[in-house]
Structures are given as C-alpha cells and as structure tokens.
Amino acid sequence: MQATFYRTTDDVKTVNKTLRQTDTATLRPTHNMDVLRPVFVVDKDGLDLTSNYVYIAEYQRYYFAKLSVSPAKKIIVECTVDALMTYATGIRSCTACVIRSESIGKPTDVIDASLPIHQSQVTTTAIDLGNPIFTTSPSHGYFLTVQGT
C-alpha cells in the first residue's frame, strides 16, 4: 500500500496540522494488522527518517509515525492514528454546546447566556460544609454544579 510521509511540528491536539511532505513509499504490514496502531516495513531504501507523520490512502487515515531501523536494516514504521486530523472535516462541521467559565477554579453566579437554560430554571443553594478536610486552609471550598430535570 502507498503512503505519503510528512514532517509536522504542530501540537498533537491541533485539528488542522501543518504538514510538510518528506517522502512517499510502499508499505508492507507486519503480523496481526491493527488499523489504529499499525506497524509496517518500508519497501524503499533511503526513506527520510525525520518524518513523523504519515497518510495512508487505503485506510483514509492520518497517523503519528515513529520510524526506526531494524537489526536487519529494514525501516520499520510504528503508527498511531491521529483521530483529530483523520476526522477533521466532521469535527469542523459539528455543532455543540460548550460550557464556558470566566475563570478556571473560580466559578461565578453569572449564567452563561449561551447555555440552553433560562434564569427561572436555575436554583442556587449554598451549604456550609465547615472546615474542609482535604485542604490546609478554610478558605478553600467546593463548588458543585448540577444540570438536569
């Protein structure tokens, strides 16, 4: 099967990675093929070993790639599927409700206007738990948010 090799320096959590093509090659799968974590032997001498990313058209998937040379002087490509890049079109076209907080760890009583609940449906209750047992200072507390019917 044919593969296109790339080099990327983008964070693994990036959906649309910037790819610089480094090479192309024919791959042979090794024993027990796993489409999510496949291992291949490369049928090419002189493959660019700086490649760290590969697209395999037959599987229609992008993979993070780790290239190494075996003791028999064969190039081995160990892959891990990149679900973000593989399914980037679907991810970008999906709609979702994202819950936001104005600051991490410091929630407020301000209702996020983007949430599909009305102010009349919100009930806030404060319960004094006394001195928390898991902290060294009584100024640390707990904040519990429950949304449901």
pLDDT, one tens digit per residue, over 108-146 is 555 556 666 666 666 666 555 555 555 455 444 555 555
Domain ranges across the chain:
2-91
pTM metric for this prediction: 0.65
Question: For 7, how many CA atoms within 13 A lie in the half-sphere containing its CB?
Answer: 8
pLDDT in tens, 8-27: 999 998 888 999 999 999 99
- Asked whether the CA dihedral 89, 54, 25, 34 is positive or negative, the reply is negative
